[in-house]
Amino acid sequence: MDQHGLWVESFRRLKKDKAAVTGAILVILFFLFSFLAPFLAPYDPGEINVKEILMPPSMKHLMGTDQLGRDILSRIIWGSRISLMVGFVAAGIATVIGALLGAIAGYYRGWIDSFIMRLVDIMLCFPTFFLILAVIALLEPSIWNIMVVIGLTGWMGVARLVRAEFLSLREREFVMAAKAIGASDIRIIFLQILPNALAPVLVSATLGVSGAILTESALSFLGIGVQPPVPSWGNILTAGKDNIEIAWWLSFYPGIVILAAVLAYNLLGEGLRDALDPRLKV
């Protein structure tokens, strides 16, 4: 079966996985919410209304209002843009760095492989979240700094996966044929081997999005993430902790949304891993 056929077979297998399909549907819904935020949000997410402070959920405000009278539903819908952007950009940075270093290590082997893998080991020795906290504390807590820092501290798993794939694929006949006709190393790495090593990268990137969303939410909850008045799921959740005894909706709804988003990407990632696993193919 050729590479195209393998992807078709993987997609067929994925469609049979109900959990993965559920995750994919939720991911699409979150995309639609973020893309259509100007049309779906019933109110301006930054509009302050002192007459409607801490109103419980009602027909007028389906998820209630916060301590400044802002509509929670509108802030969650607009916050999906920030949280999903952080997740995708951070996971994208980690995936690109990890895939590049893993490809170099797996293809060239020798001292280059040893050096990159020791760098991976050193990075894994640091508690990732506390490393992010330390870096963000030194920098201005902006959304761009958060995305870059999360990406720069999350590439190690991707590098290991890609390296393992390259160590296996570099000995295949199509690579030997490419070398025999004089193809350059760059062409062999990026046009011959890497396309055949994308399966674990795709799975890792999908799971990385959920991890980045959780990290951003945790940073915002601690007050060093995305700064108000820009809404993100994490700082919406933070705003509810001071009034949790009298306004449960301030913490409940953003918490449920974060749970649903992370669960969706994890379900989709697990489904992709099962569908793309070569040992399951016939």
Q: In this predicted structure, what is the pLDDT of residue 282?
A: 42
Q: In this predicted structure, what is the pLDDT of residue 168?
A: 86
Q: Are 106 and 233 in contact (CB under 8 A)?
A: no
Q: Are 121 and 159 in contact (CB under 8 A)?
A: no
Coil vs helix vs strand at 66: coil
Distances (CA, A) of 118 to 158, 195, 200, 201: 15, 26, 21, 21
Q: Count CB neighbours of 246 within 10 A.
A: 9
* Cis-peptide, bond into residue 229, ω within 30° of zero: yes
Instruction: Give the burial class of 222: count Cβ atoms within 10 A of its Cβ; 0-12 exposed, 13-18 middle, 19 or more buried.
Output: middle
Q: Along the 282 residues of the chain, how does pLDDT read in single tens digits?
A: 455 566 677 778 888 888 889 999 999 999 998 999 999 999 999 888 888 888 999 999 999 999 889 999 999 999 998 888 988 999 999 999 999 999 999 999 889 999 999 999 998 888 878 888 888 778 777 788 888 888 998 899 999 999 998 988 888 888 888 888 888 888 888 888 888 888 888 888 888 999 888 888 888 888 787 787 888 888 888 888 878 888 899 989 999 999 999 999 999 988 888 887 655 444
Homologous superfamily of 3-42+60-280: MetI-like (1.10.3720.10)
Q: In this predicted structure, what is the pLDDT of residue 246?
A: 85
Q: In this predicted structure, what is the pLDDT of residue 111?
A: 92
175 vs 183: CA distance, rounded Å: 9
Q: What is the pTM of this model?
A: 0.86
Q: Dig out the tokens for 98 from the structure.
A: 């990890």
Q: In this predicted structure, what is the pLDDT of residue 6?
A: 62
Q: How many CA atoms within 13 Å lie on the side-chain side of 276?
A: 19
Coil vs helix vs strand at 30: helix
Q: In this predicted structure, what is the pLDDT of residue 242?
A: 78
